[in-house]
Structure 1
Amino acid sequence: MNRFVLLAASTVALGGCASVQTPTRASAPVVTIDEHRPAPDAMRWLYGSGEAAGASIQTWRQIADYSIAIAQQSSVARSVPLGLPDAEGGIGTRSCTARDGTGKPLAVVFDVDETVLLNTGYEYWQALSGRPFDPSEWDQWADNGAGIARPVPGAVTGLRRLREAGITVIFNTNRNSETAAGTIAALEAAGVGPAAHLETLFLRGDDGMGGRKDGRRARIAESYCIIAMAGDNLGDFADVFNANESAIAARRAMVARGQYAQLWGNGWFLMPNPVYGAWQEGSIGEVFPPDVRWKPEPGDAPAIMEGQ
């Protein structure tokens, strides 16, 4: 995959003393290849550490154990809460009975990136180049990353266990719908497929709601009884969490208290991702509310000019 081409402009001499300057073309960024430079700490943890692998395997085992136990029940009345506005279900469940009175087939819904696939190739480029996220580069990766993207530790075994138990595996990702073929190829190459677009794979652009996933979840629930969901971002469970990402304290409180708090490990399973996500918001004042702040006594630490 020749994704990075360095272009150069030159001056061409045309006989005698005369010369003509050729028009210069915009050059692609020149990247200094220094693989000995320290990787960002978050990438070290997620893509290189044994601790991350252990946490992922642990979560995948919990997903499979929980879902198989639910599937062994004599019947399942309603799906796991899907975050959908629904007075009947409180926080958006759907009936597991189809219109004809039969039970819907059971399914577990997964995000893809950093939940099922590790985007090791793309993140390598990010670490090497130091460039900010570029949607066009990301789409290139989504189209051409098959064989480089690795499965999240535990995913291959976990998905195999689900499928062997007769549970349908469905992927709901914010990769663009134009990258469906590349995404399917990446899932297959990583050993976590199969997937079929608009059947067991749903992507951004499939329903006109952009990156919000509630609409896709509702569509899946029309045909399936969703007994569990897994992702690395709160929006993988309910759009309400990402409605105001700048409301740091309120967002955290919503997750950690009340009806939503009961769902973690009990139908909702969160994969660790310290590299990117909606969590990347918050000033010192927002992350540390007044009732948790502390300072050493004067003289024990350098003076700090507050508000500067």
Structure 2
Amino acid sequence: MRIAPALLAAATLLAGCATTPMARTAGPANVPPGMQYLYGSGEAAALSEQAYNALVDSVRAQLAKGRPATAAILLPAANGTSAPGTCGDKPYAAVFDMDETAVLNLGYEYNDAQTGATYDTARWSRWEASGAEKVAAVPGARRAFVALRAMGVTPIINTNRNAAGAVPTARALAFAGLGDFKHQETLFLKGDADGKSAKDGRRAAIAARWCVLALGGDQLGDFTDALGTTPAARRRSVSSSAYADWWGRRWFVLPNPVYGTGLGSGWDDTFPASTRWTDPGDAASVAQPK
């Protein structure tokens, strides 16, 4: 899921090394570390394969027990909380984000790395329109989609790409080898269902028609919009009793150190005061008053 702005500087700091953008004509000396990891490393590929293997195994195990009563999509409940949707006799589906979950936007990220340009909606729209053949499937996605379809489970894409770009978006998915997707049936785009960029409305519309057995995404908003708005709140929420049992069972997260809500935490969010260590062998630290 592409979220503005693209925080490449934050990704670089996350990896422990800051770089200074070079002139557009020259390009950077090195690939930004976050991009090296996600797009170039075996470790990121292994994590993606692992997530997709686990998702397919979970779906297979659910079906082996008979028709599930509840879905993997949480819907608002009358008491202000949320509860799983019901399955009934609806057809089976699994719902995925698109960008950096099902496809890797190699062409766009190459342009980002080379130019140092910040995210803007017009440039992203141009990418959607012209970059369909500059993507690749996320490792594990193609095999997983084939396996799901063989079990009678339909992959559905729920993405914040623009509704105006439905045709090239479907073309990108097909080019990546993920199959055919149809807008408003197996492809849901920003604004569909409720006019919002948040995804709960689209998930509710999908859950009304499908028994959703699993969700895959690279951002917390790919699973529910209720996990908080700050890094600290989101981190607390994912381990709360309301959500902890969903991860790795019905919700499956893929790696993305390049952009999105996973980046941007401050010192206090990342390193709680009670955990901070000062090296007693550091002369500057030793000189500090106790």
TM-score range for the pair, normalised by the shorter chain length = 0.7 to 0.9
Residue 134 of structure 1 pairs with residue 125 of structure 2: no
SS at match of 1:286: helix
Question: Given residue 91 of structure 1, which amino acid in structure 2 is its aligned partner?
Answer: S
| Distance of 2:286 and 2:35 partners within structure 1 | 33
Displacement, 1:304?
10
Task: Report % sequence identity.
Answer: 42
**Residue 304 to residue 189, structure 1, CA distance change in 2 (3 Å):** farther
Aligned equivalent of 2:13: none
Judge conservation of contact 1:110–1:230 (CA < 8 Å) in 2: yes
| Distance of 1:254 and 1:84 partners within structure 2 | 17
User: What stretches of structure 2 of length at least 5 have no aligned partner?
Assistant: 1-22
- Of 59, 79, 93, 2:84 maps to 93
Aligned equivalent of 2:34: 42
Aligned equivalent of 2:236: 253
| Distance of 1:132 and 1:83 partners within structure 2 | 34
Q: CA RMSD in A?
A: 2.1
Deviations along 1:20-45, one digit per CA (max 9) or x if unpaired, are xxxxxxxxxx831447x201000000
Residue 287 of structure 1 pairs with residue 280 of structure 2: no
Aligned equivalent of 1:190: 176
Judge conservation of contact 2:216–2:252 (CA < 8 Å) in 1: yes
TM-score (norm 1): 0.81
Displacement, 1:303?
8.4
Aligned equivalent of 1:59: 51
| Distance of 2:266 and 2:214 partners within structure 1 | 33
Aligned equivalent of 2:201: 215
Judge conservation of contact 2:280–2:286 (CA < 8 Å) in 1: no
Question: Given residue 140 of structure 1, which amino acid in structure 2 is its aligned partner?
Answer: R
**Residue 298 to residue 55, structure 1, CA distance change in 2 (3 Å):** closer
Aligned equivalent of 1:6: none
- Of 133, 157, 160, 1:147 maps to 133
- Of 191, 195, 214, 1:205 maps to 191
Displacement, 1:210?
2.3
Residue 32 of structure 1 pairs with residue 32 of structure 2: no
SS at match of 1:258: coil
| Distance of 1:281 and 1:261 partners within structure 2 | 23
Judge conservation of contact 1:78–1:96 (CA < 8 Å) in 2: yes
- Bigger radius of gyration among the two: 1
User: What stretches of structure 1 of length at least 5 have no aligned partner?
Assistant: 1-29, 98-102
Would you say how many aligned residue pairs link Structure 1 and Structure 2? Answer: 266
TM-score (norm 2): 0.86
Judge conservation of contact 1:107–1:226 (CA < 8 Å) in 2: yes
Displacement, 1:302?
5.9
Q: Which protein, 1 or 2, shows the higher relative CO under an 8 Å CA cutoff with sep ≥ 6?
A: 2
